[in-house]
Amino acid sequence: MQSVSNAPCRLVIASSNPVKRHAVELGVRSAFPALEFELDSAAVESGVSAQPSSDSETLTGAENRARAARSLAPGADYCFGIEGGVEDSAHGLLTFAWIVAMDRSGRIGRARSAAFLLPDIVAEKVRAGMELGHADDEVFGRTDSKRRDGAIGLLTRGALDRSSLYVPAVTAAMIPFLHPELYPVDSL
């Protein structure tokens, strides 16, 4: 992974959320420790519901965000979309995120974060139409938790936070750029 010129790589994340920005910084640094890069943010719409409620809808939201970032910053070397979602399972309501990374050639990396079960009190609010971050704020008496530690931080008492949950998936989304010979260009 390198920039087209000798200048630092220009990365764009399709979000103004500092949690997602931090996850991209750490995940890219993990995959490419020597890479010099600049990271910009571009707030864009996901094109899916405010609270995606399936694996497929969540992935579509991340893909849409990466594509929108590419449209806003066509000179960027890499664009990233991160979308958090939920999905009902046999054991309860799971939450997770999809990360999509796209380079200039159209090569795409996709990876999903770990998933975990939400407590019933939060899950009921989300199933009733509330966005997960708002449900967390209401249940835990917080404000703007989705821009800080998120459900994972609240539930693990800070042992993990949203960024640390997303970092391994950001790094995994970089695999096609570590091994471009194994991953064909696959534009969205």
- State pLDDT tens for residues 110-136: 999 999 999 999 999 999 999 999 999
The answer to whether the beta carbons of residues 149 and 155 sit under 8 Å apart is: no
**Any idea what the CATH number is for the domain that residue 66 is in?**
3.90.950.10
Each residue's pLDDT tens digit, 55-114: 999 999 999 999 999 999 999 999 999 999 999 999 999 999 999 999 998 899 999 999
Does residue 152 fall inside a structural domain? no
Does residue 148 fall inside a structural domain? no
How many domains in the chain? 1
Does residue 18 fall inside a structural domain? yes
Does residue 187 fall inside a structural domain? no
Each residue's pLDDT tens digit, 6-32: 678 999 999 999 999 999 999 999 999
d(CA 184, CA 95): 30
Does residue 129 fall inside a structural domain? no
Give the domain extent around 59: 9-115+162-182
Does residue 133 fall inside a structural domain? no
Does residue 122 fall inside a structural domain? no
Give pTM, 2 decimals. Answer: 0.92
Does residue 149 fall inside a structural domain? no
pLDDT of the residue at 4 = 45
User: How many residues are recorded in the chain?
Assistant: 188
Each residue's pLDDT tens digit, 167-177: 999 999 999 99
